[in-house]
Amino acid sequence: MGKKATVYLADSALEVIGKGENLSGRINSICTRYGAIIGKDCPALATAEWMMICDILNATVLDCDSRDTDPARFLWADISESGKLDGMAEKWEIDTEALSQQVRDMPYSQQVAIIEVVSRFWVDCEIDYPSDAERLQAAGAKIKA
Helical segments of 86-127, H only: 88-92, 96-105, 108-123
pTM, full prediction: 0.90
pLDDT at residue 57, as a whole number:
94
pLDDT at residue 118, as a whole number:
96
pLDDT for 107 beyond 90: yes
Half-sphere exposure of 89 (CA within 13 A, CB side): 14
Each residue's pLDDT tens digit, 34-48: 999 999 999 999 999
pLDDT at residue 19, as a whole number:
87
Over residues 49-60, mean pLDDT:
94
Chain-centroid distance of CA 142 in Å reads: 12
The dihedrals phi and psi of 56, each to the nearest 5 degrees, come to -70, -25
CA–CA dist 121, 24 (Å, integer): 27
